[in-house]
Chains A and B, each alone.
Chain A
Amino acid sequence: MDTNKSPKKKNLRHLLLLSILTAMALTLFLVEAQIPLPIGIAGVKLGLANLVTLFLLVKFSARDAAAVLGMRIFLGNLFTGQAVSLLYSLAGGILSLVVMLLLCRILKGKSIWFVSVMGGISHNLGQILIAMCLLGVGGVLYYLPFLLVSGILMGLLTGLVTQGFLAAWDRLHIQ
């Protein structure tokens, strides 16, 4: 778009965009928490908010993605009122962010659906690891296959949605 924007204005624009995306991620996170899934297994969820993280990773930077992810996790857990789940969210969030960042670099921003699948798997893996630490027992490992399957399926779903979102963003030529 306009190339003669002052750096100050550009910074403000960027900050505004990150704020809107944080609000979006937070909304997805909170709405998703209201959807009851008929599986009594902790950790199985849609992970829609990952859409925003993935979008930022591809179109902007890892720093922006991490900032929005951190804000979303902090505020989301503040609103849902679960102090313990903050640890689970952080473990899953950080691990999946690192994995998705590396994959994005390796795949050069292509095959976003696969980046999302691996993000879903690593998110669930992070949660199992923290559960093992907190519960002090290896029994939670029995959840691994279930969370692997749900991570792949939900990751694929959000990955495909993200691809659609990225295509729409490119059509709109927003910067």
Chain B
Amino acid sequence: MKQNLMLAIVTALLLLLGIIGCIAVNNKSGGCIAVIRQNGNEVQRIDLSAVSDRYSITLRGENGEENIILVEHGAISMQSASCPDKLCVKRGTIQSSGIPLVCLPNHIIIEIVGDTPKLDGVAY
């Protein structure tokens, strides 16, 4: 019983650590440069704040994989993917740094980097 109690405390501490980590990652904000990588190589770097009209990028892999990425003003998302699980499409749009958008089966990762927040307006 003493052993169980000790292990329960260890588990609770790990859980707490994980939850704090989740909150920290979720609250990470800023950045407007989207970096798209395929197989570890940078494919494209887009300044999302400079995008006015939405457009899409199609990425093709060596084995016939296809990912369509939708680029909008200040946001980026995976529109469609040839992978079986479609987790990247289900993630929806990402707007700031924090958890990157990942398509594991097709080895694509989209991260938002750069701490250059554009001001909405300045009042004097």
Given A137-B40, A149-B19, CB of A117 within 8 Å of CB of B11 = yes
B3 shortest CB reach to chain A, Å: 6
Inter-chain contact A139/B40, CB cutoff 8 Å:
no
In the complex, identify which listed stretch (A46-54, A57-65, A82-90) lies at the interface while the others stay far away: A82-90
Contact for B107 among A135, A142, A143, CB less than 8 A: A135
- B73 part of interface (Cβ distance < 8 Å): no
Inter-chain contact B102/A131, CB cutoff 8 Å:
yes
- Bound Cα distance A98, B19 (Å): 26
Which A residues lie within 8 Å of B37 (CB)?
Answer: 135-137
Overall SS of chain A's interface: helix
- A129 part of interface (Cβ distance < 8 Å): no
- B43 part of interface (Cβ distance < 8 Å): no
Inter-chain contact B41/A136, CB cutoff 8 Å:
yes
- A7 part of interface (Cβ distance < 8 Å): no
Inter-chain contact B84/A156, CB cutoff 8 Å:
no
Q: How large is the interface on B (under 10, 10 to 19, 20 to 34, 35 or more residues)?
A: 35 or more
In the complex, identify which listed stretch (A10-18, A23-31, A107-115) lies at the interface while the others stay far away: A107-115
- A1 part of interface (Cβ distance < 8 Å): no
- A164 part of interface (Cβ distance < 8 Å): no
- B117 part of interface (Cβ distance < 8 Å): no
Q: Which residue of B lies closest to A144 (CB)?
A: B21
Contact for B109 among A40, A135, A153, CB less than 8 A: A135
- B14 part of interface (Cβ distance < 8 Å): yes
Given A136-B40, A137-B109, A152-B18, CB of A142 within 8 Å of CB of B11 = no
Contact with B along A69-94 (1 / 0, CB 8 A): 00000000000111011001000000
- Bound Cα distance A144, B20 (Å): 12
- A140 part of interface (Cβ distance < 8 Å): yes
- Bound Cα distance A152, B7 (Å): 12
Inter-chain contact A152/B102, CB cutoff 8 Å:
no
Given A135-B37, A149-B19, CB of A84 within 8 Å of CB of B105 = yes
Q: Which residue of A lies closest to B19 (CB)?
A: A149
- Bound Cα distance A131, B108 (Å): 10
Given A80-B84, A114-B7, A135-B37, CB of A41 within 8 Å of CB of B99 = yes
Given A114-B7, A114-B11, A152-B11, CB of A140 within 8 Å of CB of B102 = yes
- Bound Cα distance A40, B11 (Å): 25
Which B residues lie within 8 Å of A153 (CB)?
Answer: 15
- A95 part of interface (Cβ distance < 8 Å): no
7 A-B pairs in the complex with CB atoms less than 8 angstroms apart: A40-B92, A41-B99, A135-B37, A135-B102, A135-B104, A140-B102, A153-B15
Told that A134-B39, A145-B25 touch, could you supply 18 new A-B pairs with CB distance under 8 A? A40-B87, A40-B91, A41-B99, A82-B105, A85-B105, A114-B11, A117-B11, A131-B104, A135-B102, A135-B108, A135-B109, A137-B109, A142-B99, A145-B22, A146-B21, A148-B17, A149-B15, A153-B15
